[in-house]
Homo-oligomer: A and B are copies of this chain.
Amino acid sequence: MDELVDADEVLNARDRGKKRHRRQLLDATSEAIYLYGVRGATIDKIHEISGLSRGMISLHFQSKENLLKAVAKDLADEYTQNWQESVIASHEGEPVERLNSLIAADLSPAVLNERNIAIWFSFRAEVNSHPEYRHYVNSRDSEFRVALLGIFRGLISDDPDRDAEAKLATNTLTALLEGMWTDFHLNPKNFDRDEAQRACLYVARSFFPDNFEPQPPLDIQ
């Protein structure tokens, strides 16, 4: 995750403290963005939430802009790690099982929670004025898409004549998942993870009706 310091055990007390403070700053900044918006996430607020001195931000990140960029990277890394773990866990399974697992990862509270989503939206809001954020928050750039496409190609047994279908299904499902995130962000109390999961799987199935096991009827409560 962190290129500079990989393993805690090789670090002395001083470096462990430094690493811990770095993390505290990242977490406090996330919290400040969640609570007060990017506009309200001032050095003073971060200092207040973290309990660390005001000067420590410059010490660790040189500037506040650098800190914000590090928060974006941290968020993106956390997201990637989450879905990749699900890919590893299900990599022996059938495409349908892997698909189910990947969608579940994307809707999991580990990544889809109020604080994280507020921060995604904060950075996404500024991709035009701060191009350096774009790469971290762009689902098209994400390897997630590639993983999804791989599953769909598996569903059609890599038939090159149907590759366009796999790509369209990938685009559609990515968009649907993005929309679920938006719905969660705006209506966290009403959001139903299970319904979202079922809807995504249902849509994925509808693209490849012959390649799934016989389609069960829409399971509605």
Contacts and interface: CB of A to CB of B under 8 A. Distances in A.
B37 A130 contact: yes
A64 to B, nearest CB: 11
Interface of A is mostly: helix
Interface string A180-221: 111101110010000110010011001100000000001011
A153 to B, nearest CB: 15
Interface string A134-167: 1001111000000000000000000000001100
A52 interface: no
Contacts of A178: 178-179, 182-183
Interface stretch (A3-11, A87-95, A114-122): A114-122
A96 interface: no
A174 interface: yes
Contacts of A128: 34-35, 37, 114, 118
Interface residues of A, number: 52
For A168, A179, A190, which residue has the most chain B Cβ atoms within 10 angstroms? A179
B220 A165 contact: yes
A167 to B, nearest CB: 9
A186 B139 CA distance: 8
A17 interface: no
Nearest to A137: B186
Contacts of A221: 164
A67 interface: no
A175 interface: yes
Contacts of A70: none
A186 B134 contact: yes
A183 to B, nearest CB: 5
B186 A180 contact: no
A125 interface: yes
19 contacts: A34-B129, A36-B129, A37-B128, A37-B129, A37-B130, A118-B125, A118-B128, A121-B121, A122-B125, A125-B125, A139-B186, A164-B221, A168-B199, A171-B195, A171-B199, A172-B176, A176-B203, A178-B178, A181-B182
